[in-house]
Chain A
Amino acid sequence: MRDNLLVYKVDWLTIGLYLALVLGGWLNIYAADFDPDQNVGIFSLSMSSGRQIIWMGTSIMLITLIMLLDYKFYHTLSYILYGVMIFFLIAVLLFGEEVAGSKSWFELGAFKFQPSEFTKFATALALARFLSATNRKTDDLKSQVIGFLIFGFPLVLVILQGDLGTAMVFGSLILVMFREGMHPVILIAGIGIVALFLLTLLVNQTVLFIGLVVVMMLLIGLVAKNPRKIAMVVVGSVLAAGFIVSVDFILTDVLKPHQQKRVMSLINPNADPLGIGWNVTQSKIAIGSGGLTGKGYLEGTQTKFDFVPEQTTDFIFCTIGEEQGWIGSFLLIAAFCGLFLRLVFLAERQKSVFARIYGYGVMSILFFHFAVNIAMTIGLFPVIGIPLPFFSYGGSSLWGFTVLLFIFLKLDAHRMQVLQRL
């Protein structure tokens, strides 16, 4: 009886988009793995697509479980879940397996398990619980600092694992802080730091300093009558200058060698097309060769002949780009875009602040994955290994994203049962 009600209350549009992305991903995983010499079917367990069916099936079980549990359960357990995941993150640092330079995997028998994937939803829940507490004002400094700490703590732990890509995902929760009243300067400063970092790599330092001085002069001109703002601009500029100078230090001491190379290859992928620039170059070639309408399903030569690396996981978008062309790529982007806008819409209609904040957290994390993943395949961002949500091959990531999304859908389904708080 209650289940029947849930079927009517749950947001089928989001579920539809979810299913479309998962199935689309599954078909493309097969295409990326496909070898014309060995005629192996899409269901074969020797193919990634065959194993992905297992992950898809178990995801349905997870969804069922999430839907069956009481919606209040997530609010109640958020801190506990967060604590457990933090514990796992520390444990993986001590006992984990090192894979490709990152110590972020547990090996449980035949299966590998990546706790950082599940820390994402736990952190989003904890942040939502903290910020939604009745007695907090999200624009006061103390709340903000604690908010930052909630996602800053796992971020640091994941950096320690050596997985910068996933760590940056936690940073995306800054978007939630912004929605909940954080001063926009912090968001702008955050984006500014990333932009300045990339500019430092791309542009000659002297030119950059001249540009900085020019921008500073313009800003001072704009706020000429306000000595306090002038002081702020000057301080900001000095900080920016200091940042530019310290980028060298960041490059050599903060980033790992393979990450340094990936950052450098963004600047000039042709400098060493067979070495560090290989991934980006081949990825762009595969996507670029797709043309307007693509080469057709299973007809992509670049992916079929293994020119694109990691083509079922981080570079799955290449398969779409090559085989479905611009039209297919555009439809995929539109689908993601639709999902994100729908999530914003759903979040905004929540009566519960907790659900709203969590909704934004879900959207931020998914959006960050999407933006960085696509940007790196088309050469707009350094290659950092994060998957395309729902699309890329992989159990941990599919489970993680599914849990993240469906907890929100469960909360959304029960939005009318929540008394207006605050």
Chain B
Amino acid sequence: MSSRSIIIQAIILMTALVFSIRLFSIQVVNDDYKLAAQNNIVQKIVEYPYRGLVTDRNDNLIVYNTPVYDLMIVPKEVNLEDSAHICGLLEIDHESFITKYSKARKYSSILASKFIEQIPNEEFARIQDQLVDFPGFYVLPRTVRAYPENTLANALGYVREISRYQLNRDTSNYYKPGDYIGIKGIELQYEEILRGKRGLNYKLVDVQGVVKGSFNDGEYDTAAIPGQSIKLTVDSQLQQYAETLMEGKVGSIVALDPATGEILAYVSAPSYNPNLLSGRGLSTNYGTLQEDSLKPLFNRPIQAMYPPGSMFKTVQALIAMQEKVVGPYEKLMCDYSPMGDHAPLGLYDVDRAITLSSNTFLYKIFRRVILQEEDDNMYIDSRIGLEKWNNYIYEFGLGNALGVDLPGEKSGNIPTVRYYDRVYGANRWKFSNIYSLSIGQGEVQVTPLQMANLGALLANKGHYYTPHIVKEINGVTIAGAERKKVSIDTAYFEPVLQGMSNVVKGGTGFRARISDIEVCGKTSTVENPHGEDHSGFMAFAPRENPQISVAVYVENAGQGARAAAATAGLLIEKYIKGEITRPWMEAYVLRGDFSDPKPQKVVKKDTVSKDSTNSNEGQSTSL
């Protein structure tokens, strides 16, 4: 045999060897091809779950699901000669048809992609029958949120398709592109409960995408599990009434049940129609709402922070009594120094100081709380005093988020020793730098929710339950809210509550007065350096066995005695009596013009305030 023949045989064997090795590498060693083969033939068909429903405390439906239809396109099957008809049917112009078609084609000509998203039910009914005439188009049903009552928008939040950004940040690895996710509010807070669980069906498909059967006899298929329903603590009727009262105004209302911490009403004004942030118009509507100068998307009850103003006097008085720097019925002589005051000159005890909202009295007792002569050095003494005061304040649920079951709750601001050290330098500040805290002005800031909670705390004479908005999940009452107690003797509440009762009976809170219900309240006129003062009112009722506590803030509405007190009074009456006995008061609030005081019998306070001098500190006019 010639040597050439041997070379030729060697070439044959080499080739066979190379093939065998190559085949071994792609068939046995490398698993990528097996996976790719599976991806080829197995198509995952996602079954989206129904999102949980939301009802109010009386089982009135607040959020439900409504069907929409994603129009899917399989570009390869589309007959482009039909395009004019399709455009007519779908009411789109030819240019956008071509754009969408090319986009889908670029993705895949044999796999389906979304052509038009979220076609509403009514429109779908119109096109449904004709759609069968056009090959390459089919619809996939989905559901989006719908809201039968235009209410509670900011508390509810909204739902939209998960964004690329959120997907990248998702650590749970649950979400996939195309999933819906709760944004803001209850939808965000209770996302995992509401969303349910996606179902997944594995189907065998051929190269055309035609389903040839289930994969492994459906062994890996899972059915979608619908989301659990949620029952809110909110009373829909009260809520809607509250929203009506806040129409055309900027501000917040929070109403709580003091006995449980349940949120009865939760108004952020101005609000928006939650249906705007659902379905096809979401993106454009969101843009419009976001550009609105009145910020309807701002969740005011838990995110807006105001100085508490005179409502804070209740807290200050309680701390001073517990610190025993003033007796419950101890009288102090108050003139107009060193703070400006609306209250007349005279002898004040806690009750009277609250009734007439005396700045001077509060200045004096706060000074005693801060400067207890624990140290000779005035600076160090202030420091010790403020720290003690801080500890009390935190117990009142101020300066920290209360832990309501809504996302984005602000903590407010209670200035601390560290804060003043930073501003003035360590031991370079004393009482004279911080005295405006005594009347709830200065650096102290609170949310409307915190003030409603303060109302509940006062109503309960020393304890509160963490406010919450969800009552039941799938019919199961959620574990009781945490009971929190302040270390103030119950006895000290009496003069404060008496003062609050007097405020409503004959003081600045008279607009909240309701016959045969003893309402306790306190007005605040919140300093606003940018314009008209904010009107604030915090109240609870009845004094015995309290059923509701309310905080109302109406921005740029002037004195607390007007807009806020009137609104709170109406809400209390509506909740307890179920009817409004003072239609003139309702008209007053609905009219929304609080610049002129409504002529009333009780005008004493107004006379007094006219007599009073302007604030000498350039600081506080606090009723």
Contact = CB atoms under 8 A, between A and B. Distances in A.
Given A289-B36, A289-B37, A301-B37, A178 B23 contact: no
A329 B36 contact: no
B424 interface: no
B23 A37 contact: no
A375 B19 contact: yes
Contact of A380 (B2, B7, B22): B22
B27 A367 contact: no
Nearest to B34: A289
Interface stretch (A8-16, A43-51, A332-340, A389-397): A332-340
B34 A306 contact: no
A261 B11 CA distance: 29
B28 A291 contact: yes
Interface in A284-339: 284-292, 301-302, 304-307, 321, 325-326, 329-330, 333-334, 336-337
Q: Which of A274, A288, A304, A337 has the most CB of B within 10 A?
A: A288
A326 B34 CA distance: 13
A341 interface: yes
B330 interface: no
B12 interface: yes
B23 A378 contact: yes
Nearest to A302: B37
A291 B13 CA distance: 23
A360 B2 CA distance: 13
A179 interface: yes
B12 A340 contact: yes
Given A274-B108, A301-B41, A285 B19 contact: no
A288 B33 contact: yes
A341 B8 CA distance: 9
Contact of A175 (B8, B19, B38, B109): B8
Given A289-B33, A348-B5, A329 B40 contact: no
Contacts of B204: 301, 305
B40 A302 contact: yes
A109 B62 CA distance: 75
Contacts of B532: none
A286 B207 CA distance: 13
A306 B27 CA distance: 20
A289 B37 CA distance: 6
Given A305-B206, A344-B12, A363-B8, 15 more contacts: A175-B11, A282-B40, A285-B33, A286-B37, A288-B26, A289-B34, A289-B38, A305-B205, A306-B206, A321-B23, A337-B12, A340-B12, A341-B12, A347-B5, A348-B2
A286 B205 CA distance: 15
B37 A378 contact: no
Given A292-B27, A302-B41, A341-B9, A285 B36 contact: yes
Q: Is the contact region of chain A dominated by helix, strand, or loop, or is it mixed?
A: helix
A371 interface: yes
A285 B27 contact: no
A346 to B, nearest CB: 12
Contacts of B34: 288-289, 291
A325 B27 contact: yes
B27 A287 contact: yes
Interface residues of B, number: 38
Contacts of A178: 4, 7-8
A305 B212 contact: yes
A374 interface: yes
B56 to A, nearest CB: 52
A287 B33 contact: yes
Interface in B26-64: 26-28, 30, 32-34, 36-38, 40-41
A190 B580 CA distance: 104
B28 A37 contact: no
B223 to A, nearest CB: 25
B19 A307 contact: no
26 contacts: A175-B8, A175-B11, A178-B4, A178-B8, A285-B40, A287-B23, A288-B26, A288-B27, A288-B32, A288-B33, A288-B37, A289-B33, A290-B27, A301-B41, A305-B205, A306-B206, A321-B23, A330-B23, A333-B16, A333-B19, A333-B23, A341-B9, A341-B13, A344-B5, A378-B22, A380-B18
Q: Is the contact region of chain B dominated by helix, strand, or loop, or is it mixed?
A: helix
A340 B14 CA distance: 13
B15 interface: yes
B453 to A, nearest CB: 61
A292 B33 CA distance: 13
* In the A-B complex, the 8 residue pairs with the closest CB atoms: A288-B33, A289-B37, A305-B206, A288-B26, A337-B16, A326-B27, A306-B207, A285-B36
A221 interface: no
A36 interface: yes
A325 B28 CA distance: 9
A288 B30 contact: yes
Contact of A285 (B8, B9, B37): B37
Contacts of B26: 284, 287-288, 378
Interface of A: 36-37, 175, 178-179, 181, 274, 282, 284-292, 301-302, 304-307, 321, 325-326, 329-330, 333-334, 336-337, 340-341, 344, 347-348, 360, 363, 367, 371, 374-375, 378, 380
Nearest to B208: A306
Contacts of A336: 16
B1 interface: yes
B545 interface: no
Contact of B8 (A284, A305, A344, A375): A344
A337 B41 contact: no
Contact of A329 (B11, B23, B41): B23
Contacts of B212: 36-37, 305
A337 B205 CA distance: 37
Contacts of A306: 206-208
Contact of B1 (A285, A305, A348): A348
A321 B37 CA distance: 13
B286 interface: no
B24 interface: yes
A321 B27 contact: yes
Contacts of B24: 326
B20 interface: yes
Contacts of A340: 12
Q: Which of B9, B109, B205 has the most CB of A within 10 A?
A: B9
Nearest to A281: B36
Q: Which of B1, B27, B41 has the most CB of A within 10 A?
A: B27
A291 B27 contact: yes
Contacts of A290: 27
B19 A344 contact: no
Contacts of B20: 329-330, 333
Contacts of B40: 282, 285, 301-302, 305, 307
Contacts of B15: 367, 371
B33 A284 contact: yes
Nearest to B4: A179
Nearest to B210: A305
Nearest to A306: B207
A334 B8 contact: no
Nearest to B6: A344
A215 to B, nearest CB: 22
Nearest to A273: B36
A336 B13 CA distance: 10
A367 B12 contact: yes
Contacts of B11: 175
Interface in B443-492: none
Contacts of A301: 37, 40-41, 204
Nearest to B110: A274
Contacts of B32: 288
A306 B209 CA distance: 11
Contact of A179 (B2, B22, B36): B2
A329 B213 CA distance: 29
Contact of B41 (A175, A179, A307): A307
B207 A305 contact: yes
Interface string B130-156: 000000000000000000000000000
A392 to B, nearest CB: 17
